[in-house]
Each structure stands twice: as structure tokens, then as C-alpha cells.
A and B are shown apart, each in its own frame.
Chain A
Amino acid sequence: MNSQAPVMSEQDTPNVGQPYTINDQACHDLSIRVRDLNLWYGKNQALKNLNIDLFQKNVTALIGPSGCGKSTFLRCLNRMNDLIPTVHTEGLVEMDGHDVNAKKMDEVALRRRVGMVFQKPNPFPKSIYENVSYAPRMHDIVSRKADQDELVEQALRDAGLWNEVKDKLQEPGTSLSGGQQQRLCIARAIAVQPDVILMDEPTSALDPISTATIEDLMDRLKEKFTIVTVTHNMQQAARVADYTAFFHLGEIIEYNDTKVMFSTPAKKKTEDYISGRYG
């Protein structure tokens, strides 16, 4: 084990034997460290003692059957669960040396660094230009019109949408097709220059061609951003993810390099799920 790597040794974790990090990928920088994360919806415990390290500039896929807590976990990373009054969270979600759940952590600041793309494309009912420029303007990233134009173009180019919309920036974002809308949402997320982009089943509402476009896009975006994506589609996880975590009943059963996990899963449950025996 490389001592300089941000990988925790076995003694550091109270749940010895629970996989939460990947030893042979020590060369990657840590983005988000999760330790003993528990979450309750009222009295129902949805997440149980989660431990996981998420690495920078990689795509991590969260897979697992419906209701296993993967989306809930994703929303812990930018505190979107705060919006649900009955949710109660315990444990550490650490980013950049800061506890995300700490009282003094401003969720607005957190969400600026951890962007999100949702399951259903949800562009603001405003123009394409406004969709992208709204958040940077709100965060005072840009103020001059020229800078703003440049940033909008850059974000749309990064999202692979520029060529399709450059002549109709003032048209409503909702006039685009579903796949284009989703890329607009990605452009909106990257316009604030976050470190991490969370994607909650970003292609589940899209047709296969749009899905392929988004997958290509994720592949390119990981050069600049850390991407954590939830997916129901095992092939998608295999195609786009560097790492994959398998969730089951609120626990992480297995977390590993995607290739390793899909070829030689360590746990029986993982194997059953991947091979489609249940889920």
C-alpha cells in the first residue's frame, strides 16, 4: 500500500472488512471521503454505515436494485436531502477537508462545488442562454456581458450542445429535444465550474442515441470534473465508469474498479445482480 495515497488503512474503519476504497488505485486524488454515513427517512433507515472514497476526475457509477439507497446517497453529497424535512443524517461526508454536513458548511457553497444533473431533464422555463448564464451570474462568476457570452459558449461546447443551439440561444430551453435538454442541464451544471458533478440516472428518460451522446460526454467531462452517476443500466456502468459501487438495501456491498468488478465480482450478491439474476 502506498503510504502517500489518500487511502485509509483497515484499522481506520470501524467496519473492518467492509469495502469502501480501492487499494490498487492509490495514484488518484481523493475527492469525497464518506465515513459511517447513516441516513433515516423518519424511522426507516435508508443508508447504513456507508464508507466510500470517491476519486477526482473519474467516473464512479452507483448501481443496485431500486430502493437500495443509491440516489439517496448521491443526494447526501450535495445535501439535497436537506429539502426533505423527515431526513436525518449522521456520519462524515468530507470534501476538501471540510465536513459537508457541518453546521457551518453553507449548502449553497457546497452546491456550487458539487453540481447536479437530474433524472428527468429539468431546464428552467427560460431561454437556452438564460439557463446557462443564470447560475454563474448569481454566483458573481461573471458580470460583464462579454465574459458571460464566453462562459455560456464554453459551457455549451463542453456539453456538446453548442453547434446545435448556437443560432437559437434565445429560444426556450424547453423547446429542445429530451437529449438536448439533458445536455443543457449538464451545461448549466458545469457553467458554475464545480469540482464534482452528480448525475442521478441522467439517461433513464432518454432514447438510446441520446444516451450514447451523454455517455460520450461523461467520458470527456471527467478530464475536468469528478463525476458520480447513478444508473440502472449495467452496460452503461461498464461503459462509462472507472469505478463502480454496488448498493443493496442501503449498504455498499462492493466497491471496485469497474473492470474488476464486472469480470470477477468479489461477492455473490454482486455477481447475481450483475448477471441479471435479480434486481
Chain B
Amino acid sequence: MSHTFDDISQQLKHRHRKSTRLKWITMGSLGLAGLFLVLFFADMLNKGLPAFQQAYIQVEINYNEEAETDGRQAFDEELIPIISRTMVRVIPMELRNNPDMIGTSTNEWVLATSEVDQYLKGHRSSLSPEERAAIDERVEAGQVDMRFNTTFFTNGDSKIAEYAGILSAVIGTVMTMIVTLAISFPIGVMTAVYLEEFAPDNRFTQAIEININNLAAIPSILFGLLGLAIFINFFGVPRSSPLAGGMTLALMTLPVIIISTRAALRSVPDSIRHAAFGVGCSRWQVVRDHVLPLAMPGIMTGSIIGLAQAMGETAPLIIVGMVAFIPDAGVSFTEAATVMPAQIFTWSGEPEQAFVEKTAGGILVLLTILISLNAFAVVLRKKFERRW
């Protein structure tokens, strides 16, 4: 018995309604996910962006003899609570280096305390009402200015909030990542090349394969414990050093690099391998001259993403002691260092209001770097994408 179009349309109506409903549900979940992302970024930007602004106050500095021993003597007494302690500290040193300056006076813009800074930004501040009035007066007189916070990028950590910066953490991150990449990239790529191009397909290699995939799913803190037990306690690698942290993160990045390298190698068509074998290449020549160059963009992409993941990792580094207080960044692989996520973690535990802002600011810097890295990986992949 045949059906008329009307019969069939009647049935189809129900099915169409169902698929429309499903479409809305999927779009709804996408919208929800997007909303969370927007909220997160809005919150971070709202909290973090003020961190890139810093209050400066124009003050008169009198270089007198007492100031050589007590920096406070160079400033008007009422300025002491509102200018940064770091300014006061440098006066005696300046005078010792340039004794001629004694007896002179200058008008300079100096760093305000974080409390003044927070007050001006409209946040909670511990300034007394009199101090607030004094600040307001100075604002009227044009003696207070919000400037771009270069200190945040040129300084290491400090207990003085307005003087704390992210530089030592950035340097520590770079050093740690150098170690991570130097270890995990060659080992990871070589392992993948062996598994993909040389190893026979038997139970043993299958077991290795499964375990590598499992390794990628292990909680990162376990890698930290492993690093602590093996690298620090057994091999005596200095605690808190970029070497210890980098090696620990290398363990974590290794499976990511192995898996992405294998995928990249597998995407090179066999016809290329056959062509190379056909002209008499040895296995290693096939890999080195033909397969690896073609797989390189994919390998790079995977490695960058693995590196970005390692860069945002905190837990294993806390275990190996990379949450140290590092005011001055030393460029050394064996001295104590800290990394960006650990710095953010440290700041998030500080009670002062100014550090809330620093925390969000640090997150913004870290996010910017991570997003740039991932974007770079995407660009790399798009640029070298090849069709056979």
C-alpha cells in the first residue's frame, strides 16, 4: 500500500519537531558554556586590569644629613604613611653613593603605598579618614597620578604589595620550561618514532601503548611526588630549582608529546614511506628524511600544547618546592625559583587587598601567554596543513 505525501508529512512533523528540539538543547548548552567563559573572563579582567595601574604621588625630597641614616627624614612627616616604604629605604643608599646630594631637594613622583592605590581605585583600604582627606587634597592639587604599573613587570615578588611584580616568576617559568622541553621533546619524539616506525606490533608494545595513554590521565600531583622521591631525594637535584621542577613537568608532558607525535607520524601516508623504501632508504633514512619532516608541524603543535599545559601546572611544583619567595630572579637552573601559577597561588593567600588585584593580574598575564601559545600552535597547524 502506498502512502500519499500528506500521510508522510504528518509522520514527519513529529520527527522534525524532535530534531528542532534537540538542536535547541545543544545550542543551549553551547550558550551556557560560552556564558561561563565570558563571566570568567569578565571577572578576571574586572579584578585584574586595575593591577596594571599604580598610584604615584608627587613629593618633595629633602636630602639632609639625617636622611643618610633614616630615609624617613627626607620626607614630610605626613607623607610617610602614604608613600611606599621602598622609596624611604633607597634614600640612605642614594646618599651614600652620591654624598654631593646632601643639602639639595627635588620634586619627584614616587610610588604610593598599596593602601593609597586601593583607596584611589575605590577598593577596601585601611587608610584613616584624615589620610583619605589628605589624599583627596593631593588629588585636587594634581599631585597624585595613576600610571601604568611597570613595577609589576620589572620586579620580583615582594612583601610590599605595591612593589611586588611577576618578573621572577616569569623568569622561573621560562627556565623551567627550557628544562621541560629539553628533556621531554627529544625523549618523547624518539619514543614515538620507535613505537610508530620501528617497534613490532606485539603484546609488549601494546602494553606500553596503553600505559602511555594511562600516564596522560594520571593526576599531576602524583608526578610531583615522583619528582620529589626520585629527582630530589634520590638524585639530589636541588629542591625548588627549575631543574627539579622542569624534570617533574617533563614526566608529565612526555605522554602528551608521545601521543601527539604518534598521531602526527601516523598522518604521514604510507605511500611516502613506500616511495622512500623503494629507492633504497634504510628505515632510519625513511624516518629522518621523509616522515619526520612531514610530521614536524604536528609534532610542534602537540609539543606546544603540552608545554602550555605544563606551564599552567601548579600542584607538582608545590610538591617539589617551587612556591618559594623569590624577590630577585636569578638566571640559574639550580637555584630556588618560582613559576607563574605558583606565584599566583602565593599571592592568593596574602591577606592584603592589593594582592587580590595582583592575583588576578598574574592570572591575566599567564592566560595571555597560554592563549598566545595555543594560538601559535593553531596557526602552525593551519600553515603547514598538508593534503596528500
Q: Are B386 and A120 in contact (CB under 8 A)?
A: no
Interface bits B257-291 vs A (CB < 8 Å: 1, else 0): 00000000000010111111111111001000110
Contact of A108 among B271, B281, B294 (CB under 8 A): B281
- A262 in the interface (beta carbon within 8 A): no
Given the complex of chains A and B, what is the CA–CA distance between A116 and B290 in angstroms?
Answer: 17
Given the complex of chains A and B, what is the CA–CA distance between A85 and B280 in angstroms?
Answer: 19
Q: Are A138 and B274 in contact (CB under 8 A)?
A: no
Interface residues of A in 184-207 (CB under 8 A from B): 185, 188-189, 192
Q: Are B281 and A123 in contact (CB under 8 A)?
A: no
List of A residues within 8 angstroms of B280 by Cβ: 108-109, 111-112, 135, 138-139, 192
Residues of B within 8 A of A (CB): 200-201, 269, 271-282, 285, 289-290, 294, 386, 388
Q: Are A123 and B274 in contact (CB under 8 A)?
A: no
Interface bits A88-124 vs B (CB < 8 Å: 1, else 0): 0000000000000000000011011001111010111
Q: Are B278 and A138 in contact (CB under 8 A)?
A: no
List of B residues within 8 angstroms of A124 by Cβ: 272, 275-276, 290
Q: Are B277 and A80 in contact (CB under 8 A)?
A: yes
The 5 closest A-B pairs by CB, nearest first: A135-B279, A116-B278, A122-B271, A111-B280, A112-B280
Q: Are A111 and B278 in contact (CB under 8 A)?
A: yes
- A16 in the interface (beta carbon within 8 A): no
Given the complex of chains A and B, what is the CA–CA distance between A122 and B290 in angstroms?
Answer: 12
Given contacts A108-B280, A112-B280, A138-B285, whether A185 and B275 have CB atoms under 8 Å apart is yes
- A78 in the interface (beta carbon within 8 A): yes
- A134 in the interface (beta carbon within 8 A): yes
Closest to B270 in A: A83
Q: Are B200 and A85 in contact (CB under 8 A)?
A: yes
Chain B min CB distance to A151 (Å): 13
| Number of A residues, CB within 8 Å of B | 25
Given contacts A108-B282, A138-B285, whether A122 and B277 have CB atoms under 8 Å apart is no
Residues of A within 8 A of B (CB): 78, 80, 83, 85, 108-109, 111-112, 115-118, 120, 122-125, 134-135, 138-139, 185, 188-189, 192
Given the complex of chains A and B, what is the CA–CA distance between A85 and B199 in angstroms?
Answer: 10
Given the complex of chains A and B, what is the CA–CA distance between A116 and B271 in angstroms?
Answer: 12
List of B residues within 8 angstroms of A188 by Cβ: 275, 279
Contact of A122 among B200, B274, B289, B386 (CB under 8 A): B274
Q: Are A189 and B200 in contact (CB under 8 A)?
A: no
Q: Are B277 and A83 in contact (CB under 8 A)?
A: yes
Q: Are B275 and A123 in contact (CB under 8 A)?
A: yes
Q: Are B201 and A111 in contact (CB under 8 A)?
A: no
Question: Could you give 22 example pairs across A and B, Cβ below 8 Å?
Answer: A80-B278, A83-B273, A83-B274, A85-B200, A108-B280, A108-B282, A111-B278, A112-B279, A112-B280, A116-B274, A118-B271, A118-B275, A124-B275, A124-B276, A125-B388, A135-B281, A138-B285, A138-B289, A185-B275, A188-B275, A189-B278, A192-B280
Total A-B residue contacts, Cβ distance less than 8 Å: 61
List of B residues within 8 angstroms of A83 by Cβ: 273-274, 277
Chain B min CB distance to A108 (Å): 5
List of B residues within 8 angstroms of A123 by Cβ: 275
Closest to B386 in A: A125
Q: Are B294 and A125 in contact (CB under 8 A)?
A: yes
Q: Are B278 and A134 in contact (CB under 8 A)?
A: no
Given contacts A118-B275, A120-B271, A124-B290, whether A138 and B201 have CB atoms under 8 Å apart is no
Given the complex of chains A and B, what is the CA–CA distance between A135 and B290 in angstroms?
Answer: 12
Given the complex of chains A and B, what is the CA–CA distance between A135 and B276 in angstroms?
Answer: 8
Given the complex of chains A and B, what is the CA–CA distance between A29 and B239 in angstroms?
Answer: 75
List of A residues within 8 angstroms of B276 by Cβ: 124
List of A residues within 8 angstroms of B285 by Cβ: 138
Q: Are A134 and B294 in contact (CB under 8 A)?
A: no
Chain A min CB distance to B92 (Å): 68
Contact of B277 among A111, A138, A185 (CB under 8 A): A111
Contact of B274 among A85, A108, A118 (CB under 8 A): A118
List of A residues within 8 angstroms of B282 by Cβ: 108
Q: Are B201 and A85 in contact (CB under 8 A)?
A: yes
Contact of A115 among B278, B290, B388 (CB under 8 A): B278
Additional pairs, 12, CB under 8 Å, beyond known A118-B271, A125-B294: A108-B280, A112-B279, A120-B271, A122-B272, A123-B275, A124-B275, A134-B289, A138-B280, A139-B280, A188-B275, A192-B279, A192-B280
Closest to B274 in A: A118
List of B residues within 8 angstroms of A120 by Cβ: 271
Given the complex of chains A and B, what is the CA–CA distance between A213 and B207 in angstroms?
Answer: 51
Q: Are B272 and A111 in contact (CB under 8 A)?
A: no
Given the complex of chains A and B, what is the CA–CA distance between A185 and B282 in angstroms?
Answer: 19
Given the complex of chains A and B, what is the CA–CA distance between A216 and B388 in angstroms?
Answer: 28
List of A residues within 8 angstroms of B273 by Cβ: 83
Q: Are A115 and B200 in contact (CB under 8 A)?
A: no
Closest to A185 in B: B275
Given the complex of chains A and B, what is the CA–CA distance between A192 and B269 in angstroms?
Answer: 23
Chain B min CB distance to A23 (Å): 33
Q: Are B271 and A78 in contact (CB under 8 A)?
A: no
List of B residues within 8 angstroms of A192 by Cβ: 279-280
Closest to A109 in B: B280
List of A residues within 8 angstroms of B275 by Cβ: 118, 122-124, 185, 188
List of B residues within 8 angstroms of A118 by Cβ: 271, 274-275, 278
Given the complex of chains A and B, what is the CA–CA distance between A269 and B20 in angstroms?
Answer: 60
Given the complex of chains A and B, what is the CA–CA distance between A117 and B275 in angstroms?
Answer: 8
List of A residues within 8 angstroms of B272 by Cβ: 122, 124-125
Q: Which of B269, B279, B281, B386 has the most CB of A within 10 A?
A: B279
